[in-house]
A and B are shown apart, each in its own frame.
Chain A
């Protein structure tokens, strides 16, 4: 991941401010948030996708 001084500096500068353990715990109510669909127009809430079954949330990006 960090291969040298440049990587280490960029990790501290760009990654650490965004990396959080978070306060959510197992048993907490799952937060809701509004998302945008791939069409760029449709909006929906995370909780709308819970259809009475477990909901697996996969967070990530391309790079």
Chain B
């Protein structure tokens, strides 16, 4: 989200919500139950279910990025080989300018930041002062 805040005056962003990566009825992750505050959903079987989960996500995190949901045909997911997570940059001419690796291990937002920084300059943030220990 910091990348969005830093570069939203220069580039457009679109989050595309696709089929679930670790639903409870497929490859379930125990960490979703404990560490991620009960993120437990079955794989949506209808568009309405997918929309409901997407809304839960955006409301829970007050997610600011523009958002679109892949239809149940999974057309966007298939066209971009996106599952489970992936980043792309499409240039002004409608061409792929950056294609990220598949998540989780090859998903790297720093690469998108580097692309944007090369075009629009680096955005630096003041380092937070370390907390004083009492």
Residue of B14, B21, B96 touching A61 (CB-CB under 8 A): B21
Across-interface contacts of B14 in A (CB, < 8 A): 46, 49, 55-58
Report how many residues on chain B are interfacial, defined by Cβ distance under 8 Å.
70
Q: How far is the CA of A30 from the CA of B35 in the complex (A)?
A: 36
Given A55-B90, A57-B87, A30 and B96 contact (CB-CB distance below 8 Å): yes
- Counted as pairs of residues, one from A and one from B, with CB atoms less than 8 Å apart, the total is 195
Report how many residues on chain A are interfacial, defined by Cβ distance under 8 Å.
47
Contact (Cβ within 8 A) B41 A35: no
Query: Is B125 interfacial (CB-CB < 8 Å)?
Result: no
Given A25-B99, A44-B68, A60 and B88 contact (CB-CB distance below 8 Å): no
Across-interface contacts of B97 in A (CB, < 8 A): 26, 54
Residue of B12, B22, B48, B76 touching A50 (CB-CB under 8 A): B12
- Interface of A (DSSP majority class): loop
- Interface of B (DSSP majority class): mixed
Q: Mark B3-27, 1 if CB is under 8 A from A, else 0.
A: 1100100111111111111110011
Across-interface contacts of A11 in B (CB, < 8 A): 27
Contact (Cβ within 8 A) B76 A35: yes
Residue of A20, A26, A33, A63 touching B29 (CB-CB under 8 A): A63
Across-interface contacts of A1 in B (CB, < 8 A): 104
Across-interface contacts of A54 in B (CB, < 8 A): 10-12, 89-92, 97, 116, 119
Contact (Cβ within 8 A) B11 A33: no
Contact (Cβ within 8 A) B94 A23: no
Contact (Cβ within 8 A) B88 A36: no
What are 11 A-to-B residue pairs whose CB atoms are below 8 Å?
Answer: A7-B27, A10-B27, A31-B80, A35-B69, A35-B76, A38-B55, A54-B90, A56-B87, A59-B82, A62-B53, A63-B32
